Amino acid sequence: MDGNGRWAEARGLPRAAGHRAGVDALRRVVDACPEFGIEHLTVYSFSTENWARPTAEINALFDLLRLFVNRDLRRLHEAGVRIRILGSRTGLSDDILELIDKSTTLTAQNNRFHLNIAFNYGGRTELVTAFQALARRVEAGELSADEIDETTISQAIWSAGTPDPDLIIRTSGEFRLSNFLLWSSAYSELVFPDAWWPDFDRDHLAAALASYQARTRRFGGLQK
Ligand code: IPE
Ligand code: MG
């Protein structure tokens, strides 16, 4: 969800206003997903690298999660949305941890739509954490080194249980993954719309999906 800052700067607004507009865009996109048959959505909301930003900016990004959970949790729960937060708990304040636990617990039994929020997330940290967990199981004699395979790793990462993304959309014209879903994105299709995230709407989503539909996915095989 990139481009909040540029969206705000282009309007002479503080960056935090861009982040707030970004929450509105997230709400629009989540609401539009069922129409397209999308059942899983993972959004990149705060990366482990975002700690390098000034404190005020970090606080504005944390406020986004507060705003989203406080304003939308009840409504999403009633709509059958399961919310999971993918990321490290390290460095997060108690109130943020409480919001994470509240959203996760309240919606744990829902299965109409799966919304994953990558928050304090980094793809390499996700893998390090998974490999450490597997190594601990090897040390404890529960697992042999040879039993570590793609399945056990997929089950040990934060996004375990979420299918690999078919499509990854990065807004605002940047052509990078920036440490997003490094393991699961192996065969994802990528689109890089120019739109800044706060401007991203149902029509941008439809365009990204049309681009996806026009592609042939071979997964390393030959075209049938
Ligand atoms: C995305 O917008 C906010 C997140 C960290 C998810 P940015 O804050 O990166 O906006 P730009 O890149 O400065 O426009
Ligand atoms: Mg950015």
**Which residue's alpha carbon is at the smallest distance from atom 1 of ligand 1?**
2
59 classed as catalytic = no
CB 22 within 8 A of CB 60: no
What tokens does 98 get? 């409480």
Mention every residue, 6+ apart, whose C-beta is less than 8 A from residue 220: 187
In a domain, 188, yes or no: yes
Query: Letter for the amino acid at 91?
Result: G
In a domain, 224, yes or no: no
**Cα-based distances in Å from 147 to 111, 138, 183:** 31, 9, 18
The string of pLDDT tens digits covering residues 83-94 is: 999 999 999 999
Q: Is 123 in the pocket of ligand 1 (CB under 6 A)?
A: no
Angle at 88 between CA 110 and CA 6, to 5 degrees: 90
pTM over 0.85: yes
In a domain, 89, yes or no: yes
Mean pLDDT value of segment 52-71:
94
**How many domains is the chain partitioned into structurally?**
1
Q: Is 202 in the pocket of ligand 1 (CB under 6 A)?
A: no
Residue percentage of the chain with pLDDT more than 90: 98
Tell me the CA–centroid distance for residue 3 and ligand 1, in Å. 5
What pLDDT does 64 receive? 87
The string of pLDDT tens digits covering residues 127-176 is: 999 999 999 999 999 999 999 999 999 999 999 999 999 999 999 999 99
Tell me the CA–centroid distance for residue 110 and ligand 1, in Å. 30
Q: Is 6 in the pocket of ligand 1 (CB under 6 A)?
A: yes
To the nearest whole number, what is the mean pLDDT of the chain?
97
Q: Is 43 in the pocket of ligand 1 (CB under 6 A)?
A: no
Handedness of CA 120, 122, 127, 129 (dihedral sign): negative
In a domain, 221, yes or no: no
What pLDDT does 74 receive? 98
**Which residue's alpha carbon is at the smallest distance from atom 5 of ligand 1?**
46
| Catalytic residue, candidates 50, 59, 110, 179 | 50
Task: Ligand 1, residue 6: give the atom nearest the CA.
Answer: 14
Domain that holds residue 13: 4-213
Nearest to 167 by CA among 148, 149, 181: 181
Mean pLDDT value of segment 110-133:
98
Task: Ligand 1, residue 47: give the atom nearest the CA.
Answer: 5
In a domain, 63, yes or no: yes
CB atoms within 10 A of CB 79: 15
Report the CATH number at residue 157.
3.40.1180.10
CB 148 within 8 A of CB 75: no
In a domain, 50, yes or no: yes
In a domain, 60, yes or no: yes
Mean pLDDT value of segment 217-222:
93
What pLDDT does 224 receive? 67
